[in-house]
Chain A
């Protein structure tokens, strides 16, 4: 069940027929940092590369610009826990230090092109196509630095954004919340005025800062929040925020997720989408305009509406099967869409049968039934049995169309009947 999947990804009933991709677009560290920098947030400087030759050039350039003699090589994948993660092929961690230019090539080769497994990936890991060569921001005296945690996100309960921060930087924030909740602070932002100067000062005081570091933190918080608002983000997580030896405050990591619904205001960010981070079947379904999430089970399903789709998956499970996918065909469910949906589901070789569950409201069931029969014939032989449950307008006519089609299709009207038929399928 190690799948990218959240409620936010699946909520889409295609109303108003919007070309919807995903509701949240995750960015790589280097992409997130480029946005932060644009809004004046100080960052750990770095250059992203996809081969070891460029990596050496990047390190030389960083050396000239920042004076950094050591370099941090950071795998760019959409998953946290990279530092502790391991590259399957080489055993290297996902974030390593090259102690000098002569080590850069070797360290990069230990990561680039390999598959990095972290606590947030599957055990197959994620392929690393790019690495960030970054300055060593902890030099020259590691002991004089300190790390903090900071995130910006929506508090759903109040409908306002909050800045959440902690002195416990560089740690798993979920653990901090569990073990030492008093070390997590929150500032809620009034949308009428945005983040205020006193709130920025409060953050800096609570983090125990003074002098130049205090002033820098005030600036950092202000800039971070304006970046969050400016790019229509749905989450920023900066862990760690670093106080350097010379009392500068910089973002060493960045996890940035953007609100896909607002991307029309930022067409340039759309280019930051990395399809290689997404399941290939999900991408293909997406291109066909289907809202699909590939899962590990043996019973495929095709449903209209996200809520009914989730409920249908639950029914498959309760009947002894495992859902092979989530698929919301949307309101129209015409022959063309049904055919595309069948094709996607059938690519998954684990599928033993397919449950089609459509509640026909404004779209009549008999039309959907005709579409299914037409799609079936157009595909040719479908190697697995199909259970079609059509309920709503003209459900009885629809059942007749399915029953008289002569195809390997079983009809049902109530959810209970459909569940019983799934049972016979998996046993």
Chain B
């Protein structure tokens, strides 16, 4: 098994014919992802990369039976693209776009509440199930089928973890980039929960950063429900404390969100926290052997 995407996923690309959409669609298809078409309003009826282009997500779903969408639409239109996917019956929408206004995402989050649609991202590298389907922008060749699930806020740091896992002789089930924006569709806790319930995943690597409560929330969930070892790294130990003009955010956040505070919380929840990102793979191997 794997989570969110697999070899049976029928994927459409929103923003298919644009520069980023074209480049990454080719990369995804090279990896073996079942890309069944794409959406670019006004270009419906054309072919692109040998696949049909549709005017609306609804048309694409009706014609192809697509169930997963990846969004490469520019930030001003990306929120609308996500809602369109949800309305058309897409069950997983992965939004790569960076730079979407927070006020747009507040609306999207509200809109998705009563839809059977999970959003991953925005501002994320996407989701990949090793040797099955890549629905994102990560370098596919570093992934190897195996039993480690990966959840991360960051792009290149995910690749680092994946590479280490592969080099110690393990491999990955699914890697989920949740994104670093203030409002995201799938939280670290949500992603950990998916992997915890996945039969083929035996261990989970969780990569967080300073800021926000997502890691602590995941830690508390793991403490209660965890059945598999979780290795975590929190980037930003050396990051100086934020100097924003007001301090209201810290109060709403409640708990301290520095790297060391997060590590402490995670350790108290039974998560194996490594201080150096160079130790992620080794630590996972140690726990699984």
Residue of B nearest to A7 (CB): B211
Q: Does chain A have a CB within 8 A of B238?
A: yes
Q: Could you say which of B138, B159, B183, B259 contacts A154, with CB atoms under 8 Å apart?
A: B183
Residue of A nearest to B27 (CB): A362
A316 and B238 contacting across the interface, CB-CB below 8 Å: yes
How many angstroms from the CA of A322 to the CA of B238 in the assembled complex?
Answer: 8
- Interface residues contributed by chain B, number (CB under 8 Å): 71
Q: Does chain B have a CB within 8 A of A402?
A: no
A157 and B233 contacting across the interface, CB-CB below 8 Å: no
- The residues of B that contact A307 with a CB separation of less than 8 Å are 152-158, 180, 207, 209, 235
Q: Does chain B have a CB within 8 A of A359?
A: yes
B139 and A310 contacting across the interface, CB-CB below 8 Å: no
8 Å CB interface, B223-241 against A? 233, 235-241
Q: Does chain A have a CB within 8 A of B287?
A: no
Min Cβ gap A349→B in Å is: 20
Do most interface residues of chain A lie in helix, strand or loop, or is the interface mixed? mixed
B160 and A415 contacting across the interface, CB-CB below 8 Å: yes
A24 and B244 contacting across the interface, CB-CB below 8 Å: yes
- The residues of B that contact A179 with a CB separation of less than 8 Å are none
Q: Could you say which of A317, A362, A393 contacts B238, with CB atoms under 8 Å apart?
A: A317
User: Which range holds the interface residue count of chain A?
Assistant: 35 or more
Q: Does chain B have a CB within 8 A of A308?
A: yes
- Of B100, B245, B275, chain A has the most CB atoms within 10 Å of the CB of B245
Q: Does chain A have a CB within 8 A of B242?
A: yes
A7 and B276 contacting across the interface, CB-CB below 8 Å: no
How many angstroms from the CA of A264 to the CA of B75 in the assembled complex?
Answer: 10
How many angstroms from the CA of A313 to the CA of B106 in the assembled complex?
Answer: 33
Q: Does chain B have a CB within 8 A of A95?
A: no
Scan B189-211; emit 1 where CB is below 8 A from any A CB, else 0.
00000000000000000010111
Q: Does chain B have a CB within 8 A of A161?
A: yes
A15 and B96 contacting across the interface, CB-CB below 8 Å: yes
8 Å CB interface, B141-184 against A? 141-142, 152-160, 163, 180-183
B182 and A154 contacting across the interface, CB-CB below 8 Å: yes
Q: Does chain A have a CB within 8 A of B137?
A: yes
A414 and B244 contacting across the interface, CB-CB below 8 Å: no
A184 and B251 contacting across the interface, CB-CB below 8 Å: yes
A361 and B251 contacting across the interface, CB-CB below 8 Å: no
B137 and A362 contacting across the interface, CB-CB below 8 Å: yes
B-to-A contact residues, CB < 8 Å: 20, 27, 72, 74-76, 96-107, 109-110, 123, 137-139, 141-142, 152-160, 163, 180-183, 207, 209-213, 233, 235-253, 259, 275-278
